[in-house]
Structure 1
Amino acid sequence: MADELKRRLVHASGSGLVALYLLAGVLSLGLTWQRFQWLVGLLAAGAVGLEVLRLLFGIEWWLFDKLTREYEAETVAGYVWYMVSMAVVVLVFSANIALPAMLMLSLGDPISGIISADSLQRVKDRRTLVGMFVLCAAIATPFLYEYPLAVLAAAFGATVADGVTVKRGDFVLDDNLTIPIYAGVAAWIAIQIGPFW
């Protein structure tokens, strides 16, 4: 239980990247969107590099033992998918789409895990799905308030990514990868469609 709490807190700490960008803008610290893209891209590359060292060369990190689950010992760990998905949305989408997508992963996913009765279900229970959707809509609103359809679409994308387990054989598509990407793509499509009234 203690390790699970630590994992969730580390998961939530990714919100610090969004806070850094927003505070830098308010305080005029010169962290442009392009520089932020470089920063997140470098962090993702670092995570991939650490994972290559671990999987191919057997280099174990003490932090890895504390913050990952047993099933990740022989496969790519969730923290890599986490950083890669954040980098993808930051590099592909504008800030008003990418930032809430990042928060949906860093805050929505661990809160959904707390709400969820059984994370091993193919589809999570209704309470968890509704909770994730409402939370993600609340996260998206300050960034996408001019596009209400995009708010709903992003929340729906994140909820599907979190709530529906995609499995083929032994392979399970990690929601650390899909939550921001589904949310970002859904929001972008909704913005292209335009107002629905």
Structure 2
Amino acid sequence: MADELKRRLVHASGSGLVALYLLASYLEIGLTWEYFRVLMVVLAVGTIGLEVVRLYAGLEWWLYEKLTREYEQDQFAGYGYYMLSMTVVVLVFEPAIALPAMLMLALGDPISGAVSDDTLRTVKGPKVLGTMFVVSAGIATPFLLGTPLAIVAAALGATLADGIKIRVGDVIVDDNLTIPIYAAVLAWLALEFGPI
């Protein structure tokens, strides 16, 4: 249980990236969206590099033991998907879409995990789905204010990614990869093609 709490806290720490961008923008200290994109690419490449070294060169830090799950010991770990998906949404979308999508992963996922019963089901229970939707809609609202369809679409995307396990062959697609991407894509579709 203690390791699970640590994992959730580390997960939530990703919200610091969004806070960094927003604070820098507010204080006008030069972290433009273009520079933020570069920062995210550097972090993602560094994360992937660490994973390659861990998996193929046998790097074993105590941190890996505490923060990765047992099934991740011999495969690409969730934190790699986390950084990769956040970077993808930052590169593809504008801040109003990308930032809440990042927060849905950083904050929504651990909150929904806290109310989950941790059973391995293809579709999570109504309590977990409802929690993820409400939290995600709350996260999206300040960013997409005035566009309720986009708020609902982003929250729905995050909820589907978190709540439904997708299996490709023998591999279950990690929701750290899908939550921000689904949320951002559905928000973008709502903004582009929804009623004005």
Partner of 1:100: 100
Using the TM superposition, give the Cα deviation of residue 170 of structure 1 relative to its aligned residue in structure 2, in angstroms. 2.4
Aligned partners of 1:103 and 1:139 also within 8 Å: yes
In structure 1, list runs of 5 or more residues that go unmatched.
Answer: none
Q: 1: CA distance between counterparts of 2:57 and 2:26? A: 43
Partner of 2:15: 15
What's the TM-score once normalised by structure 1's chain length? 0.97
Residue 188 in structure 1 maps to residue 188 in structure 2: yes
1:49-64 → structure 2 map (5 Å cutoff): 49-64=49-64
Using the TM superposition, give the Cα deviation of residue 119 of structure 1 relative to its aligned residue in structure 2, in angstroms. 4.2
Aligned partners of 1:11 and 1:107 also within 8 Å: yes
Q: Runs of 4 or more off by more than 3 Å in structure 1?
A: none
In structure 2, list runs of 5 or more residues that go unmatched.
Answer: none
1:177–1:25 Cα change, 3 Å = same
What's the TM-score once normalised by structure 2's chain length? 0.97
Partner of 1:162: 162
How high is the sequence identity, in percent, across the aligned residues?
A: 65
Partner of 1:117: 117
Using the TM superposition, give the Cα deviation of residue 169 of structure 1 relative to its aligned residue in structure 2, in angstroms. 3.7
Using the TM superposition, give the Cα deviation of residue 117 of structure 1 relative to its aligned residue in structure 2, in angstroms. 1.8
Q: 1: CA distance between counterparts of 2:169 and 2:152? A: 32
Q: Which moved more, 1:26-35 or 1:187-196?
A: 187-196
Partner of 1:144, secondary structure, is coil
Residue 135 in structure 1 maps to residue 135 in structure 2: yes
Partner of 1:31: 31
* Amino acid corresponding to residue 65 of structure 1 in structure 2: E
Partner of 1:46: 46
Count of residue pairs the alignment pairs up? 196
1:142-161 → structure 2 map (5 Å cutoff): 142-161=142-161
Can you list the C-alpha shifts for 1:102-148, whole angstroms capped at 9, x where unaligned? 00000000000001123411100001101100110010010011321
Q: 1: CA distance between counterparts of 2:102 and 2:110? A: 13
Aligned partners of 1:147 and 1:195 also within 8 Å: no
* Amino acid corresponding to residue 146 of structure 1 in structure 2: G
Partner of 2:6: 6
* Amino acid corresponding to residue 41 of structure 1 in structure 2: V
Can you list the C-alpha shifts for 1:11-53, whole angstroms capped at 9, x where unaligned? 0000000000000111111110000001111101100000011
Q: 2: CA distance between counterparts of 1:194 and 1:157? A: 15
Partner of 1:83: 83
Q: Which moved more, 1:15-24 or 1:145-154?
A: 145-154
Using the TM superposition, give the Cα deviation of residue 98 of structure 1 relative to its aligned residue in structure 2, in angstroms. 0.2
Q: 1: CA distance between counterparts of 2:167 and 2:119? A: 14
* Amino acid corresponding to residue 126 of structure 1 in structure 2: P
